[in-house]
Amino acid sequence: MEKLLAGDELSCLNCGACCAHFRVSFYWAEADINQIPDHYVQALTPSLACMRGTHQTMPRCSALEGEVGQAVKCKIYHHRPSPCHEVQAGDEKCMRARARYGLTTSHDYTGQKNTPSEMAY
């Protein structure tokens, strides 16, 4: 999707690509600290956990609602783990994830405020 909104703004609410591209892993205690419901979390190692659905060949976070590139929402937005705060709309990871879904952009959005999961991720 050249999923850009009118006005040439990059909107995570119309994207969600990064929630369906990367493994979203974090120190296991974050799940408790952030109060992420158990069914969204998968244990990986004694010290690592990830968002369920992201540790697979075609990742898709189980907390992602909607269709990538159309309209998405994070079901646990206020509880999402640290990796979800790190991807910034327009940064290198964002662009890589978007490219996977054909959502490239010709504009440099670096520095735009992150909203993935007001979305999505």
Chain residues binding ligand SF4 by CB under 6 A are 10, 12, 15-19, 24, 51, 61, 63-64, 74, 76, 80, 84, 87, 89, 94, 97-98, 116-117, 119-121
- Closer to ligand SF4 at the Cβ: 25 or 47? 25
| 41 close to 31: Cβ distance less than 8 angstroms | yes
- End-to-end Cα separation, the chain, in angstroms: 17
Q: How far is 50 from 40, CA to CA, in rounded Å?
A: 9
Cβ-proximal residue to ligand SF4, closest one: 121
- Closer to ligand SF4 at the Cβ: 15 or 47? 15
b/e code 44-53 from CB counts within 10 Å (16+ = b): eeeeebbbbb
- Closer to ligand SF4 at the Cβ: 45 or 80? 80
Query: Minimal distance in Å, beta carbon 100 to ligand SF4?
Result: 9
Helices marked H in the chain: 29-33, 83-86, 92-100, 116-119
Query: Minimal distance in Å, beta carbon 45 to ligand SF4?
Result: 19
